[in-house]
Structures are given as C-alpha cells and as structure tokens.
Amino acid sequence: MKRRREMEKGSEIKSAIEELSMMVKLKPSDNHDAADHIPTKPFLYVCNSFIQVLDKIGPTMAVLRHDINQNIQRLEMAHESDPLLNSNLVEILKKEATEGNARKAKSCSKAFLWLTRSMDFTVALLQNLARDPEQSMEEAVEESYNLTLKPWHGWISSAALKVALKLVPDNKTFTNLLMGKDDNYDTLKEQMHTFISLLLPFLEEIHSILKVYNLDRLKST
C-alpha cells in the first residue's frame, strides 16, 4: 500500500496513531451512522501499521503476520471490486450475511474478524509492556496470546506459538526497535498510551458489530 514508505520514516506506533486519528475523522459525526460505518481503506492502513509493529517481534509472529497480510489483501480486493459500495466495511458484512457467505473460509467477514483479533493481541501486548516494562517479552507475548487469540485457535496454532516464543527478542531490544529515530523511552511510552486510548473504543465498536452479525464466536478451522 502507498503509505508503507511514509510509515517507515517514523516509529510504527506513531504511524498507527496517525492512521487511527485519520479514521476517526472520516467516520460520520452522527452517533447512529458512526456505529454502522467503518471506512475500509483507513481500516486497512491501520492493519498495515500493526504488521510493522509485529515485525519487530521477529519470526515468532511470522504466521500471524502472514494471516494478517492475506486478510488485508482479501478486503482490498473486495474494496477494489466496488470502491463506492465497499468503502464501508459494514456494508460488506451485510452483503455476505444476506447471501449466506459470511461464515465461509475465504469470506471478507472472516478476514475482518481475524484482523480485529490480531489488533486485540497487539493492543494487549502493548498494554502489558506499558504496565510492566520489566516483564519479559516472552511472558508478555504469551500472556497476550492466551488472552486474545488462543481461545479461537486450534491446538496446532497454539503449539506452534509455544515453540516460536523462544525466538522473541528481549524487552529492551523490542522497545528500542519500536522507537523512532529521535525518540526515547518516555516518548515511546507516551505514544503507546495514546495509541491504546485511541484503539480500545474503536475495538469495542468493532466487537459490537461482529456480535450483530454473529461472527464474534467463530473459531479457526
């Protein structure tokens, strides 16, 4: 996507904040309309910024990163097939629900669901690190995974993550990788808190939409 190069200039967290802020601005001002509107392209830009964060964890997140990328591509293709109609992700969910396709393996609804869960994982990880900077990365990743993704994964995915945990960087290395060129730890911590405060209400809204379309309890096959 075009914004990737722009994202590389600053810290990944700062880029994610900018994308989230842009998405909030694009949502309708009316509360009722806003609840039924998630702008597709800005949402995908946010998801791409999450990939940049996960990349800093290294090969441990390779499978999750691959899944996120595939799900982004699926939603991009849907958007490009009808940019006007599919400019709102909720309209895509409505269409698939009406056609009975929402629960199919390659549906956009499932792509949206798993992208949301990946964001749940990332924000849980950053919350852990912001709350306890001394916590080991291995513990932070495992705790975040158990809370957000493990309930929906099969045993194969869970077992693979358990093995891959040995490859995570230490806490200091990870935070240094997340910092922008001219940032320090205090700046990064402030960015993490801003990012979390922006993302949590957005995720609550998404989970409410997923419940409406009976997607929130789906597990991987």
- Cβ contacts of 162 within 8 Å, gap of 6 or more: 142
Structure tokens given for 193 = 């808190």
From the list 156, 165, 151, 195, the residue with the least C-alpha distance to 12 is 195
pLDDT at 92: 96
Q: Tens digits of per-residue pLDDT, 23-77?
A: 877 776 655 555 688 999 999 999 998 888 888 888 888 888 999 999 999 999 9
Question: CA–CA separation, 11 vs 78, rounded Å?
Answer: 30
Residue 221, pLDDT score: 57
Q: What pLDDT sits at residue 5?
A: 41
- Find out whether 15 and 53 touch, Cβ atoms under 8 Å: no
How far is residue 28's CA from residue 39's CA, in Å, rounded to a whole number? 10
E strand or H helix at 185, and its extent? helix 185-212
Run of H or E residues at 202 = helix 185-212
Is pLDDT above 80 for 122? yes
- Looking at residues 94-120, what average pLDDT do you find? 95
pLDDT at res. 91: 95
Higher pLDDT, 80 or 158: 80
Q: Can you give the pLDDT at residue 193?
A: 92
Mean pLDDT in the chain?
87
Q: What percent of the chain has pLDDT above 90?
A: 50
Give the model's confidence band at 208: pLDDT under 50 very low, under 70 low, under 90 confident, else very high. Answer: very high
Give, as one character, the DSSP assignment of residue 38. -
Task: Please list, in sequence order, all residues whose beta carbon lies within 8 angstroms of the beta carbon of residue 80, skipping any fewer than 6 positions away.
Answer: none
What is the reported pTM? 0.89
Does residue 4 surpass a pLDDT of 80? no
Q: What is the pLDDT of residues 157-172, one digit of tens each?
A: 888 888 888 888 988 8
The rounded distance, in Å, linking the Cα atoms of 17 and 191 is 8
- Residue 8, pLDDT score: 46
Q: How far apart are CA 47 and CA 68, in angstroms?
A: 8
